[in-house]
């Protein structure tokens, strides 16, 4: 772990100690508990798209910047038809970065620092965090769609990984699925993202979804 995922007031000694602890907790932090077997019928079922949804989970990030860097923590994702809010938290539950996206504007604030604003959220995260977080893509990927809008569902596989490459070069691997709240179709449980970048070398992001709370909207099926 590096300072970027911790409160800016932590001492360098504390940061080093917590970094060792976070590295040792990486496997546990993003492990996925076994889920019950899913059926081919569930895998083939039409997956609903939610315009309004709250998602929570854990993530780990590996990238190269003056050597290999390892970050681990959790996140909250609050999505509405015209906005998205993402909060990144340390392993101890401290909010370390908040990202807000509305049409034509993205802002990011880290603890104790001024708000940074840009028109492109993905460029903003790379500049502010030092590693790319593909927020624009995740709006669709977290729900198991190739892009936002609900028109291109990823084919779920009950017995193996499902993968595709996005237009901007991310390799998205759905490592595991689980039945939705109705048990009718499958939704993502673990998603692995990979990309080679100029800014941060080879980047690997692992996302484990723990909570899923869709709310009724005109587009929900």
**137 in a domain, yes or no?**
yes
Query: Would you say residue 187 lies in a domain?
Result: yes
Is 221 part of a structural domain of the chain? no
Residue 86 belongs to some domain of the structure: no
Radius of gyration of the chain from its Cα atoms, rounded to whole angstroms: 17
Q: Which of 177, 171, 139, 181 is nearest to 155 (CA)?
A: 177
Q: Which residues pair with 190 in a beta bridge?
A: 176, 208
Q: Does residue 99 sit within a domain?
A: no
Domain count, the chain: 1
Its domain, for residue 8, covers 3-49+57-72+132-214
Residue 45 is assigned to a structural domain of this protein? yes
Candidates 139, 90, 98, 94; CA nearest to 117 is 98
Q: Tell me the two tokens of residue 197.
A: 């970048």
- Coil, helix or strand for 168? coil
Residues 65 and 126: beta-carbon distance below 8 Å: no
Q: Classify the phi-psi angles of 149: left when phi > 0, otherwise alpha if psi is within -120 to 50, otherwise beta.
A: left
Report if residue 97 sits inside a domain: no
Query: pTM of this prediction?
Result: 0.83
Report the percent of the chain where pLDDT is more than 70.
Answer: 81
Instruction: Categorize the per-residue pLDDT at 24 as very low, low, confident or very high, splitting at 50, 70 and 90.
Output: very low
Of the pLDDT bands very low, low, confident and very high (cuts 50, 70, 90), residue 20 is very low
Q: Is the alpha carbon torsion for 206, 119, 143, 160 positive or negative?
A: negative
Question: Which H or E element spans position 170?
Answer: none
Distances 190 to 19, 89, 105, 171, 194 between C-alpha atoms, Å:
24, 18, 29, 14, 14
pLDDT digits (tens, 9 = 90+) for 46-95: 899 999 999 999 999 999 988 899 999 999 999 999 999 999 999 999 99
> How do beta strands 83-89 and 201-214 pair?
unpaired
Residue at 87 is within a domain: no
Average pLDDT of the chain to the nearest whole number:
84
């Amino acid at each position: 772990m590096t300072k970027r995922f911790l409160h800016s007031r932590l001492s360098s000694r504390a940061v080093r100690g917590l970094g060792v602890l976070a590295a040792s907790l990486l496997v546990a932090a993003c492990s996925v508990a076994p889920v019950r077997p899913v059926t081919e019928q569930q895998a083939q079922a039409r997956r609903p798209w939610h315009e309004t949804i709250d998602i929570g989970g854990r993530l780990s990030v590996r990238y190269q910047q003056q050597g290999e860097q390892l970050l681990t923590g959790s996140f909250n994702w609050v999505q509405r038809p015209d906005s998205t809010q993402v909060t990144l938290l340390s392993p101890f539950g401290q909010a370390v970065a908040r990202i807000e996206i509305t049409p034509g504007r993205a802002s990011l604030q880290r603890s104790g620092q001024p708000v940074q604003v840009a028109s492109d959220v993905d460029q903003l995260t790379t500049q502010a965090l030092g590693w790319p977080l593909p927020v624009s893509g995740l709006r669709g990927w977290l729900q198991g769609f190739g892009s936002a809008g609900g028109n291109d569902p990823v084919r779920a596989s009950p017995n193996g990984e499902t993968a595709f490459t996005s237009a901007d070069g991310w390799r998205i691997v759905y490592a595991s699925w689980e039945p939705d709240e109705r048990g009718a179709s499958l939704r993502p449980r673990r998603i692995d993202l990979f990309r080679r970048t100029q800014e941060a070398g080879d980047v690997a992001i692992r996302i484990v979804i723990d909570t899923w709370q869709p709310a009724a909207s005109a587009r929900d099926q």
